[in-house]
């Protein structure tokens, strides 16, 4: 009996999140904002990739904003602030993912009329966010070669939900003894609908290709 109740409660939470995600999506579309949910493990390079994209887009007159999600602290928030774009810091405390409700409050704080693109940097995790859509138009999942060549096949649910899979830090592939073709092959098998983009955010490799995949290039 106890178990059944737990399951029902879980289903309610997920259904409420989905409803809120749909509301977020409608709200963002009304303001013609392209919202991109960026996922990836801690240290995969989410923040740096977003920073690089913001700088390129700013030069093209595209107005960016960011919701910086983290369990604690404002490290990423401060980095984004340095790019002089609107940023909202979202700390989840103990939760391993953002949810649509938290994002809806962040949207309330942003001046929607002044944004073209909104990046949401999710909490560094490749498991929990799969159950919690946020209302974004695109899901971009980042893995890096420093995490090994098995990151894609170990996370089939999230990879299958992603529109774009980024393999980052490719300039370190040789030193890490990682063959990026293994990651590409896994992506083609697990998530055949996704685009796989090889990047190195430090050098800027693949950033234009990534923007094209996001239909921003
Ligand atoms: Mg980060």
Q: CATH no. for residue 175?
A: 3.40.50.300
Residue 75 CA to ligand 1 centre (angstroms) = 8
**Cα 108 to ligand 1 centre (Å):** 22
pLDDT at 190: 96
Strands of the sheet with 117-121, listed across from one edge: 87-91, 64-70, 117-121, 34-40, 138-144, 164-168, 195-198
Res 178: pLDDT: 98
Centroid of ligand 1 to alpha carbon of 73 (angstroms): 11
Q: How far is the CA of 99 from the centre of ligand 1 (A)?
A: 17
pLDDT on residue 2: 59
Number of domains in the chain: 1
Distance 121 CA to ligand 1 centre (A): 7
- CA of 117 from ligand 1 middle (Å) equals 18
- What tokens does 111 get? 């001046």
- Listed as ranges, residues in the chain with pLDDT below 70 are 1-9
Residue 37: which of 113, 125, 108 has the closest Cα?
125
**145, 130 contact by CB (below 8 A):** no
Query: Residue 191: which domain range?
Result: 2-213
CA of 70 to the centre of ligand 1 (A): 7
Residue ranges of alpha helices (H) inside the chain are 2-30, 46-59, 75-81, 100-109, 156-161, 180-190, 207-213
68, 104 in Cβ contact below 8 A? no
Cα(46) to ligand 1 centroid in Å equals 5
């Amino acid at each position: 009996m106890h178990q059944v109740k737990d399951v029902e409660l879980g289903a309610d939470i997920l259904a409420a999140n989905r409803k809120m995600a749909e509301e977020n999506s409608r709200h963002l579309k009304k303001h013609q904002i392209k919202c991109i949910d960026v996922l990836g493990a801690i240290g995969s390079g989410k923040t740096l990739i977003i920073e690089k994209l913001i700088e390129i887009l700013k030069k093209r007159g595209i107005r960016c904003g960011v919701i910086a999600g983290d369990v604690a602290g404002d490290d990423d928030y401060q980095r984004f602030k340095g790019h002089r774009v609107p940023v909202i810091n979202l700390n989840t405390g103990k939760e391993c993912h953002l949810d649509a409700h938290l994002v809806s409050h962040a949207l309330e704080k942003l001046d929607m009329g002044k944004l073209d693109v909104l990046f949401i940097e999710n909490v560094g995790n490749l498991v929990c966010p799969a159950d919690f859509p946020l209302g974004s138009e695109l899901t971009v999942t980042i893995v890096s070669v420093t995490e090994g060549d098995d990151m894609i096949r170990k996370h089939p649910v999230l990879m299958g939900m992603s529109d774009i899979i980024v393999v980052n830090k490719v300039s370190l592939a040789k030193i890490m003894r990682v063959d990026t073709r293994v990651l590409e092959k896994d992506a083609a098998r697990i998530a055949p609908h996704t685009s796989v983009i090889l990047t190195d955010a430090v050098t800027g490799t693949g950033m234009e290709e990534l923007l094209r995949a996001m239909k921003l290039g």
